[in-house]
Structure 1
Amino acid sequence: MLHISTLQTNDILKLAHDQDVRSVDLLFTDVVGIVKTVTIDAERLTAALTDGVWFDGSAVEGSARVAEADMYLKPDPATFAVLSWETAPPLGGRTAQLFCDVYTPNGEPFAGDPRGVLRRALQSAAAIGTQFAVSTELEFYLFLEPVGSELIRFSDQAGYFDASDPVARLILQRVRDALRSMGIAVEAVHHEAGKGQHEIDLAPVDALRAADAIVTARMVVRAIARQEGRFATFMAKPISHAPGSGMHMHQWLHDLNSGNNRFSDPTNDYGLSREAQAFLAGQLMYAREICAVLAPTVNSYKRLMAGLEAPVYATWAQLNQGALLRVPRLAGQEQPNIRLEMRCPDPGSNPYLALAVMLQAGLRGIQ
């Protein structure tokens, strides 16, 4: 498969033909992070990549009023991927996806598009010569029945780092294979502390690709779980007496020219450069404000309670898991890997907005 960052229009058309793609899902999210889809026939792919696709923005949460309904989707060619896990319909053909940016009729990026909000934040990082990179720990539960059923039935009775049951193991293997085929690198998967709770660790990439990967991973997990007779939920606290699900995000600022980690300083006791300390201070300063985006639902705050390995203090630490920010570091670990772990986000948040506010708060600290 072509590397995701090199895909352009001609590459996409050839790949779609070679993979027998008949339909293409054009994806974007509303302000709360719900994925929206416009599906087109593959024959319209060239026109979509060239001219975009119009849609009614008034029906999307956080978008336009009825009188300002016209919007159009501009696909990002670098995000083209075939949905390898889907069963082909009786007449054959496969489905692919493309993430899109939302534009107004006059050709301007729509201010309420979460992906566009993150793009603008990344431009602020680029203005000081940096690239914002992120890796993600995505936690979720697998149940035998949907959440909200009269009887909650966990998919297994295992705990932290225990071997998963055969069905969960199959689901996780299929998820890893599907994400790999879509150009998304998975560093590891493992069982989490709760019964039926699992974690997928996504490899570090630039923040825009990280957000796309989170949205994709959530869709893939839900779809494959359904195919295997399980129900997946990314709710922060689906069971009151069980561990909550978080979405810890590890952050780096890399130099645009050299690629070096701008957070690293071997002479500092904690390995942190002055720029990293300022970035960290900015996120602590705006902790209350950004947590409204990182933990956006009432249910989110049932997870953020003392004694549950969730952050409850607007402070930073190396070992204390109750801190909002951690500086993970093993003895002898190479300095280039020094990073800041933001522990507040949960998997129900909008990843584009979450990363945007994290970055802007950090940049405020640097400024």
Structure 2
Amino acid sequence: MDKQQEFVLRTLEERDVRFVRLWFTDVLGFLKSVAVAPAELEGAFSEGIGFDGSAIEGFARVYEADMLAKPDPSTFQILPWRGEAPSTARMFCDILMPDGSPSYADPRYVLKRALGKAADLGFTFYTHPEIEFFLFKDSPNGRKPVPVDQSGYFDHTPHGRSQDFRREAITMLEAMGISVEFSHHEGGPGQQEIDLRYADALTTADNIMTFRVVVKEVALGQGIYATFMPKPFTEFPGSGMHTHLSLFEGDRNAFFESGAEFHQSKVARSFIAGLLRHAAEITAVTNQWVNSYKRIWGGGEAPAYVCWGHNNRSALVRVPMYKPEKVQSTRAEFRSLDAACNPYLAYAVILAAGLKGIEQGYELPPGADDDVWSLTDRERRALGIEPLPQSLDEAVRAMERSELVAETLGEHVFDFFLRNKRTEWEEYRQQVTPFERERMLAVL
């Protein structure tokens, strides 16, 4: 037994932990959980906990259903919202086949595989997400939601519901070892942003899954409701998850080069070029719901076109302004992501696109200095700026032609994901919407 496992078992006794929740994620990014008694944990560390994989979205067919969830002791944390005594803890799991080999259906393994490829090239992949979401007065249940406030960007409202919420959520996140960098009210009524501190991509993905649970738990505890739906309102901005990216070689930021334009190294330029060249084919993963495209094409500063720019917030990839003596913070910001994605799969395909750019020596095209949204279609075409997919259907069509995404996700996840998204699109396009009834029922 290793030291981390010993630490977990010792903490169970010291903190009177009666329940340990083993967490893992299905292919669509929904969190799954099974509770085990502390007495069973030593066996879970050595052998895993058996479950029926055919009952989990995208995991297995009925005739190959047996799977094992093996807890990762490095992810052990007490759940602060479950009370102090007796306590409840959680650990993320790796999903294994009965013979102990990794399951190709496990999104966490998909990301680990991509990170392993980066490590073979000498890189560690760091990410820093800015997570947006809405707070409503109660669960909408099909009705139009009512925001908890009418505040706007950076507004400070005395006795504001949002401030109390953010304070409690951040306190809970930090109690679980998840560091928060910034928090503020976003542009839409009831819309919030909380930014997590830089971490390696696997830790960040685990943190995002925890973040979504914490936000919903705190909201319910305050009698309100939280959603990460990308675009709940037609008239207000959607919720994104802009993510800052960088590669490190040991302690050295591989994106930094002294004296280069914007202090960007060749590695950084090729990485960004990879993001741009493969942007369309990875979009079904980074923006995986039909509603995601209402955010991308619904205005409100969402990036709809494939380009990069220095400090240009209309671009898909933004290179933030370099701060003197801040070598370690040189980075690129990928802006199309939304917080409703599966973070393991999304970070895996983003990393794969960037690494492909490095391996193939892609040249970075000229940056966009203009506000890309204000250009005409003809002006964008003249500049070689292509649009992102305009619907889930377009995104799926681009993804199914992609060798890069197929290789990164693996055959099993790639095939299931495509099948599921095609079904979602077919069901969506059959729906008669309120827009159609309001426009046409009385006049046609």
Give me the TM-score of the superposition, normalised by structure 2. Answer: 0.78
Q: Match for residue 190 of structure 1? A: 184
Deviations 1:310-357 (A, max 9, x none): 111111012322211111115546232110101011011000000000
Equivalent pair of 1:7/1:80 in contact (CA under 8 Å): no
| 1:69 and 2:65 are equivalent in the alignment | yes
User: CA distance change for structure 1 residues 179 and 7 in 2, over 3 Å: closer, same or farther?
Assistant: farther
Give me the whole-angstrom Cα distance separating, in 1, the residues matched to 2:325 and 2:150. Answer: 35
What SS is found at the alignment partner of 1:161? coil
Q: Match for residue 96 of structure 1? A: 89
Using the TM superposition, give the Cα deviation of residue 168 of structure 1 relative to its aligned residue in structure 2, in angstroms: 2.3
Give me the whole-angstrom Cα distance separating, in 1, the residues matched to 2:150 and 2:51. Answer: 46
| 1:244 and 2:244 are equivalent in the alignment | no
Pick one of 16, 20, 23 that aligns with 2:16: 20
Equivalent pair of 1:188/1:201 in contact (CA under 8 Å): yes
Q: Match for residue 311 of structure 1? A: 303
Q: Match for residue 279 of structure 1? A: 271
What SS is found at the alignment partner of 1:243? coil
What SS is found at the alignment partner of 1:101? strand
Pick one of 103, 119, 131 that aligns with 1:126: 119
Equivalent pair of 2:236/2:300 in contact (CA under 8 Å): no
Pick one of 332, 337, 344 that aligns with 2:336: 344
Q: Match for residue 221 of structure 1? A: 215
Equivalent pair of 1:159/1:195 in contact (CA under 8 Å): yes
Give me the whole-angstrom Cα distance separating, in 2, the residues matched to 1:17 and 1:122. Answer: 35
Deviations 1:29-83 (A, max 9, x none): 1111000111111221211112111110001111100000000011111000000
| 1:37 and 2:30 are equivalent in the alignment | no
| 1:116 and 2:103 are equivalent in the alignment | no
The one-letter code matched in structure 2 to 1:175 is A
Structure 2 unaligned residues grouped into runs of 5+: 360-444
What SS is found at the alignment partner of 1:85? helix
The structure carrying a bigger strand percent of its residues is: 1
Give me the TM-score of the superposition, normalised by structure 1. Answer: 0.94
Q: Match for residue 154 of structure 2? A: 161
Q: Match for residue 356 of structure 2? A: 364
Give me the whole-angstrom Cα distance separating, in 1, the residues matched to 2:41 and 2:167. Answer: 31
Rg larger for: 2
Higher relative contact order (CA 8 A, sep 6+): 1
| 1:11 and 2:4 are equivalent in the alignment | no
The one-letter code matched in structure 2 to 1:10 is E
Equivalent pair of 1:83/1:97 in contact (CA under 8 Å): yes
Deviations 1:203-232 (A, max 9, x none): 000000000000000000000100001100
User: CA distance change for structure 1 residues 228 and 278 in 2, over 3 Å: closer, same or farther?
Assistant: same
Equivalent pair of 1:54/1:71 in contact (CA under 8 Å): yes
**Superposition CA RMSD, Å:** 1.5
Q: Match for residue 44 of structure 2? A: 48
What SS is found at the alignment partner of 2:307? strand
Using the TM superposition, give the Cα deviation of residue 279 of structure 1 relative to its aligned residue in structure 2, in angstroms: 0.7
What's the % identity of the aligned pairs? 45
What SS is found at the alignment partner of 1:8? helix
The one-letter code matched in structure 1 to 2:73 is P
Give me the whole-angstrom Cα distance separating, in 2, the residues matched to 1:151 and 1:284. Answer: 36
The one-letter code matched in structure 2 to 1:63 is F
Structure 1 unaligned residues grouped into runs of 5+: 1-5
Give me the whole-angstrom Cα distance separating, in 2, the residues matched to 1:80 and 1:189. Answer: 25
The one-letter code matched in structure 2 to 1:320 is N
The one-letter code matched in structure 2 to 1:84 is P
| 1:266 and 2:262 are equivalent in the alignment | no
Pick one of 280, 293, 297 that aligns with 1:288: 280
Q: Match for residue 324 of structure 1? A: 316
Paired positions, count: 357
Of residues 304-313 and 260-269 in structure 1, the stretch that sits farther from structure 2 once superposed is 304-313
Q: Which stretches of structure 1, 4 residues or longer, exceed 4 Å deviation after superposition?
A: none
Give me the whole-angstrom Cα distance separating, in 1, the residues matched to 2:117 and 2:141. Answer: 42
Equivalent pair of 1:147/1:238 in contact (CA under 8 Å): no
The one-letter code matched in structure 1 to 2:293 is Y
Give me the whole-angstrom Cα distance separating, in 2, the residues matched to 1:147 and 1:316. Answer: 37
The structure carrying a bigger helix percent of its residues is: 2
Using the TM superposition, give the Cα deviation of residue 289 of structure 1 relative to its aligned residue in structure 2, in angstroms: 1.0
What SS is found at the alignment partner of 2:161? helix
